[in-house]
Amino acid sequence: MNIGILGGTGPEGKGLALRFAAAGIQVVLGSRVAVRAEEKAAEYNSILGKQVIRGTANSEMLHLCEMVFLAVPFRQAIEAIEAIRGDLSSGTVLVDVTVPAVFSPGRVEYLAQEGDSGAETLARHIPAGIELVGAFKTIPAHVLAELKVKLDCDVFVCGDSRQAKELVMQAVRTIPTLRPLDAGPLRNARTLERMTILEIQLNLRYKSKGARFRVVGI
Amino acid sequence: MNIGILGGTGPEGKGLALRFAAAGIQVVLGSRVAVRAEEKAAEYNSILGKQVIRGTANSEMLHLCEMVFLAVPFRQAIEAIEAIRGDLSSGTVLVDVTVPAVFSPGRVEYLAQEGDSGAETLARHIPAGIELVGAFKTIPAHVLAELKVKLDCDVFVCGDSRQAKELVMQAVRTIPTLRPLDAGPLRNARTLERMTILEIQLNLRYKSKGARFRVVGI
């Protein structure tokens, strides 16, 4: 399986690319400008010490990959989906890792979507035949990007297609010490996105940086 | 400090009573009918192997305790608060451990309170001078009640009074392996209550019973 990363030049995309590539998965970074993705691929390959990540234009990345992570900030996600609309093939699994947040100095709050989650909002912009799965929402980007940090936490995977969720969970299982948990339907992103905000608030309060959740007892 | 438990004859109350009493705290069970609380106190004392828990009528319990846990199901909580209204003394810290849930066979959903949390709904029924703190919402009652089970998880404490939260966190710290985390203002119960629903959903899916959260990285 090839994993594509749309927004692979940002911090969340970096972590996903490094962790999946280190686990032996073929990773393709996509960018609107191919050369930017190529440059980032070269940078990440030098961190890994091997040539395993490719960078290319979004359209080519989308043709190469069965699973594509939307690793852009939430406020850019709808625009990003609209931009790639024509290049999405039926059966592609899109993975939403975004969280709608409002930051102000020393504070972060959840940007509520009229009772909806960010994931549900994005789902309304996805063409038919494409499955949207929410995952990695509660994993801090910089923790993901620091390969020396043991993740020792859970990835909550939510979505309305059991098959698409299972594919994402299989991909998560390739990353050592990271456990995928089936967190139910896409609307459960309402819980997961709020959990991410709580993590950031805990980081601010406890002067930590990498708060993340682990479920004990299952 | 004396800890009172309103609804101390139910499963959540049992766990709180046993854990706090085992940690050396004076625990007083309250019930509308004094003799029921006395009977339960005797039962819990026999589990502990020492006479450390008292049972009495709610009015007396409220006069004896600075911190009182509302350990009734959410749907009975408003009625319970109204019933004890006249016996609440200014400065009492009420701790809400409830979660608004809708159960059907094999399913559980969050009972949304018009955008509010259950805790915020209860707060509107609390007389002035009484602080409401949310805590223990994500700790499964039966895990709490089985003293041989190591809790190894976090208690998220939310509330709008820093002093009241700190008192509750001090009480939590007496219980071995349980870590209190300041989870922000009372409105963050919107997150914590949804996390509890997610736990129960995970239990149903993974055929487990005691799913609970631990924060890694702080």
Mean pLDDT of B50-72: 96
Per residue in A88-102, pLDDT (tens digit) is: 999 999 999 999 999
State the pLDDT at residue A112. 77
Contact B202 A215 (CB under 8 A): yes
Residues of A in contact with B212 (CB under 8 A): 215-217
Rounded distance, CA B214 to CA B68, Å? 25
Q: What is the mean pLDDT of chain B?
A: 95
State the pLDDT at residue A9. 82
Contact B206 A218 (CB under 8 A): yes
Task: Name the percent of chain A lying above pLDDT 70.
Answer: 100
Of B193, B133, B141, nearest in space to B169 by CA:
B133
At residue A37, does pLDDT exceed 90?
A: yes
Q: How far is CA B131 from CA B80, B83, B86, B161, B163, in A?
A: 16, 17, 15, 7, 9
* A194 vs B191, B206, B208: nearest CB: B191
Say whether A3 sits in a helix, a strand or coil: strand
At residue B4, does pLDDT exceed 90?
A: yes
Structure-token match 């993590």, residue found: A199
Mean pLDDT of A171-199: 97
At residue B170, does pLDDT exceed 70?
A: yes
Nearest C-alpha in A relative to B112: A115
State the pLDDT at residue A4. 98
* A213 vs B183, B203, B213: nearest CB: B213
Question: Taking the complete model, does pTM exceed 0.90, yes or no?
Answer: yes
Contact A213 B208 (CB under 8 A): no
For residue A128, how many other CB atoms are within 10 A of its CB?
Answer: 5
Mean pLDDT of A50-58: 96
Contact A216 B152 (CB under 8 A): yes
Mean pLDDT of B36-63: 97
Contact B217 A211 (CB under 8 A): yes
- Binned at pLDDT 50, 70 and 90, residue B122 comes out as very high
- What is the second-level CATH architecture of the domain A2-206? 3-Layer(aba) Sandwich (3.40)
* A218 vs B110, B188, B202: nearest CB: B202
Residues of A in contact with B153 (CB under 8 A): 216-217
Contact B202 A213 (CB under 8 A): no
Say whether A29 sits in a helix, a strand or coil: strand
Say whether B212 sits in a helix, a strand or coil: strand
Distance from CA of B112 to the nearest CA of A (A): 10
Of B14, B2, B4, B73, nearest in space to B42 by CA:
B14
* A202 vs B115, B181, B208: nearest CB: B181
State the pLDDT at residue B137. 98
Residues of A in contact with B181 (CB under 8 A): 202, 206
State the pLDDT at residue B108. 94
At residue B107, does pLDDT exceed 90?
A: yes
Mean pLDDT of B104-133: 91
* B194 vs A152, A190, A202: nearest CB: A190
Distance from CA of B90 to the nearest CA of A (A): 29
> Dihedrals φ, ψ of B81, to 5°?
-65, -45
Mean pLDDT of B32-41: 96
- Binned at pLDDT 50, 70 and 90, residue A115 comes out as low
State the pLDDT at residue A114. 72
Q: What is the mean pLDDT of chain A?
A: 95
Task: Name the percent of chain A lying above pLDDT 90.
Answer: 94
At residue A118, does pLDDT exceed 90?
A: yes
Contact B218 A197 (CB under 8 A): no
Mean pLDDT of B128-154: 95
Contact B194 A194 (CB under 8 A): yes
Q: What DSSP element (H or E) covers A182?
A: strand A178-182
State the pLDDT at residue A204. 96
Contact B217 A210 (CB under 8 A): yes
At residue B21, does pLDDT exceed 70?
A: yes
Q: Which among A202, A203, A209 is the top mutation candidate for probing chain B, defined by the most B β-carbons within 10 Å of its own β-carbon? A: A202
Is residue B68 within 8 Å of residue B6, measured between CB atoms?
yes
- Binned at pLDDT 50, 70 and 90, residue B8 comes out as confident
State the pLDDT at residue A88. 94
Alpha-helical segments (H) within chain B: 11-22, 34-48, 58-64, 74-84, 118-123, 141-145, 162-173, 189-206
